[in-house]
Structures are given as C-alpha cells and as structure tokens.
Amino acid sequence: MHEIGFDFPGQTEFFASWAGIENFAMCLTGGQITVALVTAHVPLREVRSLLSEEEIARVGGLLTHFLRRRGLRIPRIAVAGYNPHAGEGGDLGREEIEIISPAIDLLKARFGALAEFSGPHSPDTVFCRSVAGEFDGVLCMYHDQGLIPLKLHAFDRGVNVTLGLPFVRTSPDHGTAFEIAGKGVARPESTIHAVALAVELARAREID
C-alpha cells in the first residue's frame, strides 16, 4: 500500500486522520493484558525524543476511559518504565526520573478520581503482575514493549483498538499473512474476538 501512496505508518494513524482526530492512541487487549502505547509506529531510535509528560498523560487518559467503558469503575493502571529495571534509580537512565514519574503525578492530578496509577514499573515484570491480576492496564512507552508480551500471552485472542475515535474500530492483533492465504490454515480466533469487542464497545457507556 505504501508503494501506491498510502502515507500512514499504520491503520491507527489512518483512521485518526480520516476522522480528523488528534487525540488518539493504539491499544491492544487480550487475556489478562491490556496495553496502550505512548509511541507506536516509529523507529526505536526516535522513541526517546517523543516521550514527554504531556504525551504520557494524554495516552493514559485515553486508556482510563477505555477501561471504564469496559466496566471497570476505578481501573488499576501500571505505567511501565523506559529503561531496564525502570532505570535503577537513575543508574540505567534518567527518563523515569525526569519524564515518567512527573507524568504519573500529572495523571493522578487529572484522572486520579477515575483510576489508580502506579509506577514507573520495571518493564520485565509488570506484565507478569498484570497476568496475575494486579493491574487492569499497562501504559507502555513504545510499540514492542507492549505488543511482545501481549502476543505471547494471547496471540489468538488479541484485539487492536484505536482509542479516541468517534466510532468503534477494532481489528485482529496480527497482520494479513498473505503467505498463507488460500491454504486453509489461517485461524479466525483473533478476528472473532475483534468483532465481539466491537459489539461490546458499541453497546457500552463509560461507567459512572
């Protein structure tokens, strides 16, 4: 599609542009893991320059409203760190101290009546804790930080949701897999879950 002029890195950005929406985010949910991404379809080397207190708080707000729409009155949202072990107190990077912790304070100030925010959590353990039921959602700093654990945990149940749109948009959490088209080996589970979630969201209203 890019070869014929599709000038978007992914469907998240396309639908947001089509709807004229600037406040949007990429979210994936499956099994016991729900993630929202502060940065999505950008090269890893650019992630650091795109992180800011305001951007983290913006996406955290969208995740809050999504989880509440799914029936969680006060969702528990874990904010993942950026560096290994969430920076080890600054020894492995200062992003947690200079950006992410202030962003969590901003989230608490803006949405503290609607959700519980904690972190920055070490990225290598926060998803284990989510699967164990400690968190309802994880706010991730970049694409693979959120998608690798989700797909390991619930590849056949994962659903991609675009947050912030004026309409419901869901899709499977995987690509088109042209290489297996027509071979009778494709599995429908993720698509079925995407349809089911779309129906749920179309019927739902954010809990009071």
Whether the predicted pLDDT of 4 surpasses 60? no
> Helices (H) and strands (E) in the chain — how many of each?
8, 7
- Compute the distance between CA of residue 33 and CA of residue 35 in angstroms, rounded to an integer: 7
pLDDT of residue 188: 86
pLDDT of residue 108: 99
Where is mean pLDDT largest: 80-89, 166-175, 199-208? 80-89
- Compute the distance between CA of residue 100 and CA of residue 195 in angstroms, rounded to an integer: 34
Closest among 9, 62, 11, 50 to 141, alpha carbons compared:
50
pLDDT digits (tens, 9 = 90+) for 16-30: 888 899 999 999 999
| Exposure b/e, 110-128, CB count within 10 A at least 16 = b | bbeebbbbebbbbbeebbe
Q: How far apart are the first and last CA of the chain?
A: 42
Mean pLDDT of 160-164: 96
pLDDT of residue 88: 96
Domain boundaries, the chain: 8-173+184-203
- Paired residues of 161 in beta bridges: 27, 170
Structure token digits, residue 43: 């090269």
Please, which pLDDT band fits residue 1 given cuts at 50, 70 and 90? low
Q: What is the CATH number of domain 8-173+184-203?
A: 3.40.718.10
Which residues, in sequence order, are CB contacts of 69 under 8 Å at separation 6+?
Answer: 201, 204, 205, 206, 207
Please, which pLDDT band fits residue 208 given cuts at 50, 70 and 90? low
pLDDT of residue 151: 95
pLDDT digits (tens, 9 = 90+) for 141-155: 999 999 999 999 999
DSSP state of 99: I
- Categorise residue 161: left if φ over 0, alpha if ψ from -120 to 50, beta otherwise: beta
Residue type at position 113? A
Helix 101-111 and helix 53-69, axial crossing angle in degrees, nearest 10: 50
Structure token digits, residue 49: 């320059």
Q: What is the pTM of this model?
A: 0.92
pLDDT digits (tens, 9 = 90+) for 45-96: 999 999 999 999 999 999 999 999 999 999 999 999 999 999 999 999 999 9
Q: Kindly list the distances between the CA atom of residue 95 and the CA atoms of 15, 37, 105, 109, in Å, as whole numbers in the listed order.
A: 31, 16, 14, 20
pLDDT of residue 3: 63
pLDDT of residue 5: 59
